[in-house]
Chain A
């Protein structure tokens, strides 16, 4: 690796370092792309995939290292510069203008002129030809919103390829497409590959990587794990490299605390629940006093399932029963009344109300449940808040401190306190330990087990860290590509089994 010389190397990024205040986002990462290949970039959250792409496309400036395009050193300082050099990106969310015509979208900013006016005939004709070359035959004079996301995606690709055609970066292009649309897109991508483009394909869908890609470069915690030929690396190995545990190491992983045992009583049951574009046909049972883990890679549908259970989104098919009664959840308040609580994944965006005090943040869910006019008296509020600050050991200067001034771990504890105050019977924790220090992580894991054991609380626990899941959960629901693929219980919960299930390998 590093300076790969030889056959048709298109792009070489050598020993790239990129630091952000307090974080080494990229630490000596090298990446090589050959002409006429589809190369996947893989890694869990925070691995450095997007940072690497942003360095390549000129969004971030690298701290050290060099980038060579066709043997010549380049240093893009803006996306425009990168595009001029021949590097184009198509993002997850299509960034075209839906109210302009297809042709306008393709030629925006570089319209062919004739006598000082835009030559519309030319614009439309060339757009039509360009799309035809990608096997897309549509009316280019219609506005973009007439077409489904998949077609929009292809139009974005057409534009990117036409602007500059050496390297095409596809960032999660299939995340909002269905199976058929994905196949259509793949045909286009393969065609471009055969024309000699270098394509960087970022996706969380394992199946698609194996179906489409030639090589894969794996990153973890800002460092390079390695570059592999996709067909030569078994799935389990790929996943263990992403997660950072060798199978051999994991075989006899000792368990910290004794886990909680589920009671026979079922608290919540989901039958074949689906939500369009999110998950399909998921079945699950959550018993009282059970810690259920949702395992799977990012984008596998674990967060989406949790959000459905909490009523953030509505289910389009299937049913959810709580304590044997079928429920129709329309919004979070409905599920809160059934004593379900949810700590969301994105603490900053979905969790804290930054400019409110710790007290107000903790009291908020309880107050929402009681309604606007069921005011909790200040004295009562202070008692509750003090109780949980003590119980969860939240470090605050006083309860009126603004929550945004707390550390990540303490913010997380305050959000957990918010939900404990509602005395839930089912507590859903989505990535409760992300971005917080090791000490607090362990505290939270232990707390989870204690709640389940002592209060017979049911808990759904979602985490990207495998050992955390193995240590805390008494049952694991494994998800892949928005479907439930396995359920692992009791003694069978080992990292090896879970990885195999995520990868979809038997035995």
Chain B
């Protein structure tokens, strides 16, 4: 029992548990879900590879979002920053039909990411210096961002024929796995190392838990807040490259649409509380993969893409309830009431009752962790 407690109180328990359930579901109901095959030119393919490929830009977004949320902020502009970033890259490469690029590829990529950083810095400035509420501050770019992207592309959907551009979202010739997986891996590693080797993480948590005490301890609270938004912008900039490359075009209206919500969901799923404080990078990554697995599973079951949000909503509700203190209180009261009724009517153990109890234990422990 103690071992079980230790296991369930681990910070990654809930996100891994959710993911395992989904994978188990797939293993039973979806044919060849775990099958990975190799094409003739040496590339791996299968549903698992597909999930990782499709979830990488969400993973990258959720890295930045985790830090923002840890400072008890939120960034709802990342979807629009993706549109800006992909618009910058595509505009600089140009839509020449003969497959040439107007500017060197590396510069175009650099400028796209830089645009993301600038957009993030703008958010950071509003929140840290001018003390505008994070939701409002980032709402500005959320709505205006797509307009900026439209301006850059002059209202056109620029299709890029320059071949290397497609390698970002696709596969570099000779590689076994899609490039996106490597990009996401590199970003996760970067964050992991920064977290391990610097005190950035400590300062972010400190600011998120108690900004006043942090200031009294000499932490430059405003700098920390500015930095997390700038970094979130950087992450969105990188995701913008991936999203643009996947469709080989800059679509100002649809690139990264609603992705900010998925990113927030991934962070919440990963066990970082939206009220800020302690964060869990590993949890956010698993959260992002879980969301993509859910999407892929639903497609495998033939759920239409426009019904998908309903399923996601149900998952969100369940998760929020599991994390809610109030819900746990109500639940345990209800459980105790049942128990006392049962005790009154002598011992008539029923299967439902045991099930309920097990579930409560799980929820309580999952909640303790949260």
Contacts and interface: CB of A to CB of B under 8 A. Distances in A.
B205 A418 contact: no
Given A333-B220, A364-B219, A372 B198 contact: yes
Contacts of A352: 210, 213
Which of B202, B213, B217 has the most chain A CB atoms closer than 10 A to its own CB?
A: B217
A471 to B, nearest CB: 27
Interface residues of B, number: 22
Interface string B265-288: 000000000000110000000000
B198 A375 contact: yes
A349 B202 contact: no
Contacts of A372: 198-200, 203, 224
Contact of B216 (A332, A356, A370): A332
A286 to B, nearest CB: 20
B199 A367 contact: yes
B203 A355 contact: no
Interface in B188-247: 197-200, 202-203, 205-206, 209-210, 212-220, 224
A495 B203 CA distance: 44
Contacts of A117: none
Contacts of A267: none
B80 to A, nearest CB: 28
A470 B171 CA distance: 77
Contacts, number: 77
A350 B221 CA distance: 14
B209 A353 contact: yes
Contacts of A354: 209-210
A368 B206 CA distance: 11
A368 B278 contact: no
A184 to B, nearest CB: 32
Nearest to B203: A372
A488 to B, nearest CB: 29
Contacts of A312: 215-216
Interface string A346-365: 00011111111000100111
Interface of B is mostly: helix
Interface in A368-390: 368-370, 372-376
B231 to A, nearest CB: 12
A336 B215 CA distance: 12
Contacts of B215: 312, 331-332
A367 B213 contact: no
Contact of B202 (A333, A351, A364, A374): A364
Contacts of A418: 217
A372 B219 CA distance: 9
Nearest to A351: B213
Contacts of A332: 215-218
Nearest to A367: B199
Given A350-B212, A353-B206, A373 B198 contact: yes
A375 B197 contact: yes
A342 interface: yes
A418 to B, nearest CB: 7
Contacts of A375: 197-199
Nearest to B221: A331
B196 to A, nearest CB: 9
A351 B200 CA distance: 20
Contacts of B219: 333, 364, 368
Interface residues of A, number: 29
Contact of A350 (B203, B213, B218): B213
B213 A349 contact: yes
A344 interface: yes
Interface in A131-173: none
A418 B218 CA distance: 12
B202 A360 contact: yes
Given A349-B212, A355-B278, A336 B218 contact: yes
Contacts of A349: 210, 212-213
B218 A356 contact: no
Interface string A322-338: 00000000011100100
Which of A363, A368, A373, A418 has the most chain B CB atoms closer than 10 A to its own CB?
A: A368
A328 B235 CA distance: 38
Nearest to B273: A355
A457 B343 CA distance: 67
Interface string A87-109: 00000000000000000000000
A349 B211 CA distance: 9
Given A355-B277, A372-B200, A331 B220 contact: yes
Contacts of B212: 349-350
A377 B312 CA distance: 42
A416 to B, nearest CB: 13
B217 A365 contact: yes
Contacts of B220: 331, 333
A333 B206 contact: no
A312 B216 CA distance: 7
A376 B215 CA distance: 20
A194 B197 CA distance: 70
A353 B216 contact: no
A88 B325 CA distance: 37
B276 to A, nearest CB: 10
Contacts of A336: 218
A110 B218 CA distance: 48
B184 to A, nearest CB: 24
A372 B202 CA distance: 9
A364 B205 contact: no
Given A367-B202, A375-B197, A356 B209 contact: yes
A350 B219 CA distance: 13
A342 B216 CA distance: 8
Contacts of A367: 199, 202-203
B224 to A, nearest CB: 8
Given A333-B220, A364-B219, A368-B218, A353 B210 contact: yes
Given A332-B217, A353-B209, A375-B199, 10 more contacts: A332-B215, A333-B218, A349-B210, A349-B212, A350-B212, A356-B202, A356-B205, A360-B205, A367-B203, A372-B200
10 contacts: A332-B218, A344-B216, A349-B210, A349-B212, A355-B209, A356-B209, A364-B214, A370-B199, A373-B200, A418-B217
Query: Which 7 A-B pairs give the minimum distances between C-beta atoms?
Result: A368-B218, A333-B218, A336-B218, A368-B219, A355-B209, A332-B218, A350-B216
